Structure formats: structure tokens, C-alpha cells
Amino acid sequence: MSHHIVIDARIRPSSTGRYADRLLEHLQLLDTENHYTVLLDPKDTWLPTAKNFKTVACPYKKFSFNLLDQHNFARFIKKLKPDLVHFAMTPQEPVLYRGKRITTTHDLTMLRYARPGLKSPLVHSARMAGYKWLFLSSHKKSKAIIVPTEYVKQDLIKLHPFTANKITVTLESSEPPLPIKSEPLASVKQPFIMHVGSPYPHKNIEGLVEAFTILKKDKHADLQLVLAGKKEYYFEQLEKSLDNHEFKNDIIIPGFISDGELKWLYENTECYVLPSFSEGFGLPGLEAMAHRAPVASSNATCLPEVYANAASYFKPEDPKHMAMVVSDIITSPDYANKLRTRGEERLICFSWKTMAKQTLEVYNKILES
């Protein structure tokens, strides 16, 4: 029997959106029976390739506390007459929608590490209270909850014990190496270590800068640190904080870079460093491994579960320990090569196709219940 499944994929163009993008890609190959409506951000130009998939522009904000928006979004979905709605990121769904739904909770980082940014502390507190309420409502009303790691599953059960029998773990995956030619960055000199992504508070980039400073003062005077990623508020704040840093000229913040430049960084870095306090899966480390970059990782949250023996671990709250672990990789080519080999072996454990297949099984289970 064919069902109508709606997937809210408005996050697709964002960094977290790779999950939604790969889910859609593989579902089109796996499921020719059900028919799908994919909700997209109005600016998103994604088009399906399968005949049983169609798209609808969805004009509502991803996280809206406005009651009118909540009401209108619920009506918008109801008019589509779905048998099941999958919200690809908690808590995007309208509280007032009463149909069958499932949600994907990527992690609980927002609850612990969100900071006011440009907003006043009072506005931030109010928004966080609203966010927690939406989060709770989402988990209560969802027939099933998908998470990317066992760590997130247990973390969520501690927060909301009633979710224990609703959760399914569907591991995510890395991409194969970028299929383009490498392009060197003129501002970067070897040797260097690197990190890719916005310096949100939970990413602990300040700790990485401290560790880099220790490395420079120890036995790595010629080392550079490359912090790549689209420049926005937190990058601007980071640059301001480095104005008087003694090694400012060796901390390279190139902003947005091309895929060719990113590939060159991965292929030539001494070490990819992931200093994060909190992750739901940790795709950047796997992406680095796919390009044969040795990885030094925080031992926090899900990261040891995902990387296993393919990374060298440090305590993220201890810059000295971070520096020591990175130094061990830089000074030992044999150890670095061992991590590269282990990284290639670890990547075999992950598959977007498997993730989509497991998600489809969740759909069918809920639709048949």
C-alpha cells in the first residue's frame, strides 16, 4: 500500500543539512512505492530525480515562537494530507500539528552551549525557554525519534526518559574525497594544522588557539594554524580577540574557500584538529580522514564512538594536553601514517545508503502501527 510521506528538509542548504540532502538522495533510489512531498526553503533550488518525489516551497521560519506562524504552518502541512511527516531537525515542527510525525534530533548542543550573540541576555533567555519547550513538545508528540549516535540516544534519554522506546540510531557518513584538483592557498605555508567550521562556543576554538600558542613556543616555531569557514558573527569576534595575539600572523582565517582549496588543506595538513566540547556525530573528522589527514580529536560526547581508534584523543578543556597530542602526530610520521590507515578502515563502517534504508524502516514501522 502506498503512503504519502512529507519530509521537512528546509535545513538542506545549511551545514547540518547534509543529512537531509543525503537522505533524500538515497530514499529516491530505495523507495519507489510511497510518494513524497519535500518541504524546502523558498530559496532552495533542489529538484528530485524520482517520479514519486515532488517539492513544495515552505515560507515558514525553521524555529518560530510566533503563534500565528505555528498555526499557519500546521494548516500548511495538514492541507498536504500526509500519512506521516518527518522533520529532519528537532524542533522545526509546529506544536499545533496533530498528525503522525517523526523527528531527527542531531544532538543537545543547543541546550547547553547556545550564547546570546547579537541578542540581549534577556531576549536570549526567553528564546532558550521557548526552544526547550518546543524540544519537549517535539519529543512527546513524535511517534519515533532518529538520532545519529548511541551517545545522543543516551543523552536524550537522560533529558527526556519517556523517549527511551522511541529512539532509533542511524549512523551518518562521510563523503568520498572531493573529485577535483587541489588548489593551494597563497596565505598558507607548510607546516600547518587546521580546523573547518564556524567557531561557535561549543567548538572550543579558543582552546585550539591556546594549544597552538603552546606548540609555537615549544618546538614548532614555524607552524601555522588555519581556521577555515564562512565568516559571520563568531568569526568576527574571534578575529577581534586575536588582534594582539603574539602569533596573529600565523593564525590564518581565510573565510569561505573553494572545494579545491579545502582539498589542498586536507591533503597537506600535519593534522586536522577537532577540539569540540560537544558533537552529535562529527562529520568534519571523517571528511578529513577521507582525504588521508591524520585526526586529533576531543574525547568529548560522541567522538570516540564515531572515530574509534582512527583518531588520537585529548581532553578538550586542557590546551596543554591538546598540544601534546597534536605534537605527537606532527613529530612522528609513522604514527601519523598509522592514523591515516586507520581512518581509511574506519570510513568503511559508515554509509548514507544504510542510513536512508534504516530511516525507511522507521517510516514503514510507524505507518503500519
Domains of the chain, with CATH numbers?
Answer: 4-171+351-364 (3.40.50.2000), 192-347 (3.40.50.2000)
129 or 82, higher pLDDT: 82
Confidence at 120, pLDDT banded by 50, 70, 90: confident
What is the longest distance spanned by two Cα atoms in the chain?
67
Q: What share of the chain is helix, strand, coil (3-state, %, to 5)?
A: 45, 15, 40
Amino acid at 49: T
pLDDT at 50 over 70: yes
How many Cβ atoms are within 10 Å of 56's Cβ, its own excluded? 12
Q: What does the pLDDT average to over 205-220?
A: 96
- pTM, to two decimals: 0.94
Q: Where are the alpha helices (DSSP H) in 142-194?
A: 150-159
User: What are the beta bridge partners of residue 296?
Assistant: 273, 312
User: What's the confidence (pLDDT) of residue 248?
Assistant: 93
Q: How far apart are CA 121 and CA 129, in angstroms?
A: 12
Sheet of strand 271-274: strand arrangement = 251-255, 224-228, 192-196, 271-274, 295-298, 311-314
Q: Where are the alpha helices (DSSP H) in the chain?
A: 18-30, 67-79, 109-113, 121-141, 150-159, 205-217, 233-241, 259-268, 283-290, 303-307, 319-331, 333-347, 352-368
CB 229 within 8 A of CB 235: yes
Q: How far apart are CA 145 and CA 152, in angstroms?
A: 11
Q: What does the pLDDT average to over 114-122?
A: 75
Secondary structure letter of residue 85 according to DSSP: E
User: What's the confidence (pLDDT) of residue 15?
Assistant: 75
